[in-house]
């Protein structure tokens, strides 16, 4: 009788151990499948950000940070899309006719474009500052009619907003 209880205890222990091993194997297989899926789609995440630039060349540090950060965020691999939405005095930083713009700012714009950032400029703002569309840096992807409407659209599509 004692021997049967011992055998039963050993069998229960073995069964629990076996179930644990099966669960571990299943977990490992699921983790491997998740890693393969991530590798298949690349290092990209699923996030989307819109960097909103409203300040002008009077705050050059903020202008440069907005441009640089939009590119850095996309290069991180966590985002599917990064947009730099520019309105207000910020549009001056994208005019070829503004001689006060340092070469470094132009270089940051080129770097952001190479990273894949989409640069959208407010049409109302370039009218207000008398900047012709032809005078915009080649890195500008589009002039949107109204930046607030565009911002609302991007937010409705799940973009997170970072304002400068």
Q: Where are the domains of the chain?
A: 1-42, 47-163
Query: Given pLDDT bands bounded at 50, 70 and 90, which one contains residue 13?
Result: low
Q: What is the pLDDT of residues 19-58, one digit of tens each?
A: 454 555 555 555 565 455 444 444 567 899 999 999 999 9
In sequence order, what DSSP letters do the residues of 43-112 get, joined into one string?
S--SEEEEEEE---GGGHHHHHHHHHHHHHHHHTTSEEEEEEEE-GGGGGGGBTT-TTS-HHHHHHHHHH
Domain 47-163 fold is: Hypothetical Protein Ychn; Chain: A, (3.40.1260)
Confidence at residue 12, expressed as pLDDT on a 0 to 100 scale: 54
Q: What is the pLDDT of residues 71-119, one digit of tens each?
A: 999 999 999 999 999 999 999 999 998 888 899 999 999 999 999 999 9
Kindly report the pTM of this predicted structure.
0.73
């Amino acid at each position: 009788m004692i021997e049967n209880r011992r055998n039963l205890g050993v069998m229960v222990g073995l069964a629990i151990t076996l179930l644990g091993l099966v669960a571990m194997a299943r977990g490992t297989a699921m983790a491997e499948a998740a890693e393969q899926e991530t590798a298949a789609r690349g290092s990209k995440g699923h996030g989307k950000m819109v960097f909103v630039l409203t300040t002008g060349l009077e705050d050059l540090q903020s202008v440069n940070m907005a441009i640089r950060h939009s590119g850095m965020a996309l290069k991180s691999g966590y985002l599917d899309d990064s947009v730099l939405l520019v309105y207000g005095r910020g549009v001056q930083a994208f005019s070829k006719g503004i001689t006060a713009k340092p070469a470094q700012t132009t270089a940051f714009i080129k770097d952001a474009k190479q990273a894949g950032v989409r640069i959208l400029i407010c049409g109302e703002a370039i009218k207000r500052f008398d900047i012709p569309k032809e005078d915009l840096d080649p890195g500008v992807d589009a002039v949107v009619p109204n930046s607030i409407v565009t911002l609302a659209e991007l937010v409705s599509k799940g973009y997170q907003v970072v304002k400068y």
